[in-house]
Amino acid sequence: MEHQLIKNYLSIHKERFLNELTELLKIPSISAKPEHKNDMQKTAEAVKQRLIEAGVDKAEICQTKGYPVVYAEKIIDPNKPTVVVYGHYDVQPAEPLDLWDSPPFEPVIKKTDIHPEGAIFARGSCDDKGQMYMHVKAFEIMMKTNTLPCNVKFMIEGEEEVGSPSLGHWIIENKEKLKGDIILISDTSVIANDTPSIDCGLRGLAYMEVEVTGPNRDLHSGVYGGAVANPINVLCKMIASCHDENNHITIPGFYDKVQTLSTAERNEMAKAPFDINEFKKDLGINDVQGEKDFTTNERTGIRPTLDVNGIWGGYIGEGAKTVLPSKAFAKISMRLVPNQNSDEISKLFQSYFESIAPASVVVKVKPHHGGEPVVVPTNSKGFQAASNAMQDAYGKKPIPTRGGGSIPIVALFKKELGLDSILMGFGLDSDALHSPNEHYGLFNYYKGIETIPLFYKYFAQ
Ligand code: BES
Ligand code: MN
Ligand code: MN
């Protein structure tokens, strides 16, 4: 009955819900770029304003050392459970801009093969403004239909895409304010629109930057080449030696704490529908690659990785310049799984990288942000509520999956607040998060808005 009420309200207000999201997507809230400082503030204010309109008792913009956290709450009865919603209003940089079919901050709706009812194209549409805003609209529906069954707290941050450097301190300083029973997050994916799923794990992250220095200046590659180490050649060799022929990572101790899954657990995981040919087709690749003896889903879900995110040095301008560069750089990240620890892995990487450097160069390793992996227990009340909610909304029981991405703050929610997180995401992996032409299906947006109140209903029971 309540479900019907919610669906009716949603169908009446569909267009406005989409227009409001469109307005939010127009603000380029790129946390990585300091020149967007005002846009960050503007977005935080817009989110706060929308929460007030949706019916919270109070909403505030909480300053941190970095970008502010938007906090809001609706307390209907202190004796009832409290759902703490987490999301982020910041987005990734949109580059490379020339690969976008429409400007990243001028949202347009277009149909695609996977989204026949249309998708909204804009940076942040799926990750995470679109998914975060579903929670604001679901809250509005529960308020307007008198179906909010428990208390709600919203914590929407502006630094997720840069590793949440301020939110950790903020939650430690606001433990009282954040008292609740569960964290609810929509910032992950489902398998497909006809195959609902819920992530029950996230990988951790250790992100490093390396600098390799050879001679004290760029040299003529004819005069000196062959006799002096070329830092780019050396760096490439060092990077290549981080994997063996089976695509195992060679850093000593790297796998020591990796939790291995039982055959039964792996068989269970393998039941999730997955079409390797569709996967290859979507990415335009002829073949996949990865760690020997693991499937593609295992490679992204339960196994750690090491990847170069960027590499530079030397001459990259037009034409040919003969030069033996003085320096080479790379950004290298490792995705971690339980029970690896990002500080420990950073140290192992650093010692290994220094140890394999030839005497002809000097290597500097600088750790960037990190984050710990998480697993969400599937037998908890929260997970069951999410599972029931999706079952009602999709007409199918969702499949538990292990997501390959990272949301570093989730491990801290557990450590500092003692709260489990429910990763009830509605995007698709093919929605081009962090890539050009990011989009979010209208089906997904509305389905999320429909599902969230059902989560509250089951969680409050
Ligand atoms: N929403 C993503 C994480 C994600 C995406 C998890 C899809 C599962 C499925 C999040 O915004 C993100 O991009 N996180 C970063 C980590 C951060 C430290 C920059 C990531 O995973 O690279
Ligand atoms: Mn995200
Ligand atoms: Mn992201």
> pLDDT (tens digit, 9 = 90+) per residue, 13-47?
999 999 999 999 999 999 999 999 999 999 999 99
Establish whether residue 405 lines the binding site of ligand 1, counting it when its CB lies within 6 angstroms of any ligand atom. yes
Q: Which of 198, 406, 431 to mutate to test the pocket of ligand 1 (most atoms within 8 A of CB)?
A: 406
Average pLDDT, integer, range 401-424: 96
Tokens representing 310?
């960027």
Contact 82 CB / ligand 1 (< 6 Å): no
Which of 86, 161, 302, 334 has most ligand 1 atoms within 8 Å of its beta carbon, as the pocket-test mutant? Answer: 161
DSSP symbol at 68:
P
Taking the CA of residue 127 as reference, the ligand 1 atom at the shortest distance is 1
Q: Which residues pair with 441 in a beta bridge?
A: 119
pLDDT at 2: 86
**2-202+373-460 topology per CATH:** Aminopeptidase (3.40.630)
pLDDT in tens, 162-177: 999 999 999 999 999 9
Question: What's the 212 CA to ligand 1 centre distance in angstroms?
Answer: 29
- What is the per-residue pLDDT across 351-367, written as a single tens digit (0 to 9) for each? 999 999 999 999 999 99
Q: For the segment 205-216, what is each residue's pLDDT rounded down to a tens digit? A: 999 999 999 999
Ligand 3 mean position, distance from CA 389 (Å):
25
Output the residue whose Cα is nearest ligand 1's atom 15. 406
| Strands of 178-304, DSSP E | 182-185, 189-190, 197-199, 201-202, 204-213
* CB of 363 closer than 8 Å to CB of 357: yes
Domain map (residue ranges) of the chain: 2-202+373-460, 205-258+304-370
What pLDDT does residue 84 have? 98
Q: What is the pTM of this model?
A: 0.95
Cis peptide before 339 (omega within 30 of 0): yes
- Looking at residue 369, its pLDDT comes to 84
CATH number of 205-258+304-370: 3.30.70.360
Nearest ligand 1 atom to alpha carbon 434 = 13
The answer to whether residue 1 scores a pLDDT higher than 80 is no
Q: Report whether residue 441 contacts ligand 1, using a CB cutoff of 6 Å.
A: no
| Residue-wise burial string across 250-275, b where 16 or more C-beta atoms lie within 10 A, e elsewhere | ebeebeeeeeebeeeeeeebeeeebe
Instruction: Over range 122-129, report the average pLDDT.
Output: 98
Measured in angstroms, how far is the CA atom of residue 303 from the centroid of ligand 2?
21
Residue 139 clears pLDDT 80, i.e. is over it: yes
Ligand nearest to the CA of 373: 1
Q: Who's near 335: CB < 8 A, 6+ residues apart?
A: 203, 204, 205, 304, 305, 307, 404, 406
Question: What distance in angstroms lies between residue 16's CA and the mean position of ligand 3's atoms?
Answer: 26
| The pairing of beta strand 151-157 with beta strand 82-88 | parallel
